[in-house]
């Protein structure tokens, strides 16, 4: 399998006579969509000459960006490679002349036929965090930047990649006890909000829609820490549970402001703090982009404990993959 670095150089070489890469679009659904959030945040912040977009596949295929064409790279992700709107997104992107990279777990899935390059990733127990879907998406963004205009913190980023696996597994051990207490405390609640901001926001979004709602049938919404004061804080009271994602890096002051308020007027707040969980060994220049991988892999420790305490397996579905939708 080619590395992301090689895939990106291949694309850039093929586009050299066409004006090069100017647009980068990330397209997927659900957990795969959330996994692209760090890549989008990275290019938004670091790139001067590349335009980035992150789309739900259904929205993308019904409202294609005007700039979709031979100067675009489209990165799609589908775990099973069979989500119809994501397959259609890849197909349309190619028809418009864009280069398409597909990230999938199932290498012989229907998605593959519509991609120019296909990458698999690690998944499941004992996976290497540096090789999982989120990081591959992020790497596509980092390589696209490095190989076009250059990325001043490229070496710091690769240093972060080399550290993230160890940080995550230590963090998972660190929260093991706490997750059991959380599960007992919250097992009978019918709503749990998540709160987050910054490049790691997608992890809290995923926790809300794919875990609390999809896998536990608990009402939830992901509240942006900065937006908290512009509506959601009015529901704060002593009974309402908040699962609070406190990031390391540039988003931290935004998160802290919301957390300080919640600590004053709320009572039931579960805080996962990237600083406490050891993310700070990654350089400050790039730390923002590693929050997602940390939180997204620490949450399953809580989720397994919660599912057990509620006697509601994480695999239970009413509608997903069962009925027409
Ligand atoms: N909770 C699942 C996600 O985990 C999954 O990512 C998504 C799309 O599926 P896929 O990634 O296979 O396209 O569907 C749901 O949202």
Report if residue 288 sits inside a domain. yes
323 HSE (CA, 13 A, CB side): 4
- Distance (Å, rounded) from C-alpha 54 to C-alpha 75? 10
CA-based torsion, 241, 274, 257, 135: positive or negative: negative
Q: How many domains does the chain have?
A: 2
Same domain for 115 and 176: no
Same domain for 64 and 20: yes
Contact 61, 53 (CB under 8 A): no
53 HSE (CA, 13 A, CB side): 18
The percentage of residues in the chain with a pLDDT greater than 90, rounded to a whole number, is 100
Domain encompassing residue 197: 169-310
In terms of pTM, does the model score above 0.90? yes
Same domain for 143 and 69: yes
Average pLDDT, the chain: 98
pLDDT for residue 224: 98
The CATH number given to whatever domain includes residue 18 is 3.40.50.10490
Closest of 96, 97, 95, 143 to residue 119, by C-alpha:
143
Report if residue 210 sits inside a domain. yes
Report if residue 265 sits inside a domain. yes
Report if residue 53 sits inside a domain. yes
Instruction: Name the residue of 27, 60, 79 whose CB sits within 8 Å of the most ligand 1 atoms, as the mutation to test its pocket.
Output: 79
Same domain for 182 and 140: no
- Distance (Å, rounded) from C-alpha 248 to C-alpha 16? 38
3-state SS, residue 216: coil
pLDDT tens digits, 113-126: 999 999 999 999 99
Centre of ligand 1 to C-alpha 20, Å, is 32
* Reported confidence tier of residue 258, pLDDT bands at 50, 70, 90: very high
* Reported confidence tier of residue 239, pLDDT bands at 50, 70, 90: very high
Residue 21 pLDDT exceeds 90: yes
Same domain for 144 and 8: yes
Same domain for 235 and 196: yes
User: How large is the average pLDDT for residues 150-179?
Assistant: 98
Q: Which atom of ligand 1 is nearest to the CA of 210?
A: 1
pLDDT for residue 165: 98
Same domain for 25 and 134: yes
Report if residue 283 sits inside a domain. yes
Contacts of 90 (CB under 8 A, 6+ apart): 27, 74, 76, 100, 102, 111, 114, 115
* Reported confidence tier of residue 1, pLDDT bands at 50, 70, 90: confident
Provide the ipTM.
Answer: 0.95
Residue 25 pLDDT exceeds 90: yes
Centre of ligand 1 to C-alpha 83, Å, is 8
Who lines ligand 1 at CB under 6 A? 29-32, 78-80, 83, 86, 210, 214
For every residue of 7-22, DSSP letters joined together read: HHHHHHHHHGGGT---
Residue 231 pLDDT exceeds 90: yes
Closest of 87, 103, 94 to residue 139, by C-alpha:
103
Same domain for 145 and 177: no
Residue 173 pLDDT exceeds 90: yes
Q: Record the tokens describing residue 283, joined without a space.
A: 């350089």
């Amino acid at each position: 399998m080619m590395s992301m670095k090689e895939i990106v150089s291949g694309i850039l070489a093929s586009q050299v006579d066409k004006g090069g890469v100017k647009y980068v679009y990330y397209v997927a659904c659900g957990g795969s969509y959330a996994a692209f959030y760090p890549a989008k945040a990275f290019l938004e912040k670091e790139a001067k000459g590349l335009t980035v977009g992150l789309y739900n596949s259904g929205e993308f295929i019904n409202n294609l960006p005007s700039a979709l064409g031979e100067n675009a790279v489209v990165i799609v992700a589908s775990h099973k490679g069979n989500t119809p709107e994501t397959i259609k997104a890849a197909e349309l992107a190619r028809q418009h002349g864009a280069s398409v990279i597909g990230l999938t777990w199932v290498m012989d899935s229907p998605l593959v036929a519509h991609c120019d390059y296909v990458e698999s990733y690690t998944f499941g127990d004992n996976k290497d965090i540096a090789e999982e879907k989120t990081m591959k998406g992020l790497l596509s963004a980092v390589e696209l930047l490095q190989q076009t205009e250059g990325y001043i913190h490229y070496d710091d980023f690769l240093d972060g990649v080399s550290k993230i696996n160890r940080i995550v597994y230590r963090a998972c051990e660190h929260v093991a006890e706490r997750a059991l207490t959380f599960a007992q405390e919250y097992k009978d609640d019918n709503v749990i909000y998540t709160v987050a901001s910054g490049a790691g926001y997608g992890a809290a979004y995923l926790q809300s829609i794919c875990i609390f709602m999809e896998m536990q049938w608990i009402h939830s919404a992901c509240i942006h820490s900065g937006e908290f004061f512009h509506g959601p804080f009015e529901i704060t009271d002593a009974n309402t549970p908040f699962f609070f994602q406190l990031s390391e890096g540039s988003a931290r002051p935004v998160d802290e402001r919301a957390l300080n308020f919640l600590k004053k007027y709320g009572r039931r707040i579960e805080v996962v703090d990237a600083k406490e969980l050891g993310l700070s060994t990654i350089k400050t220049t790039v730390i923002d982009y590693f929050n997602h991988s940390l939180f997204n892999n620490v949450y399953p420790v809580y989720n397994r404990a919660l599912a057990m305490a509620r006697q509601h397996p994480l695999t239970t579905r009413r509608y997903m993959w069962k009925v027409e939708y």
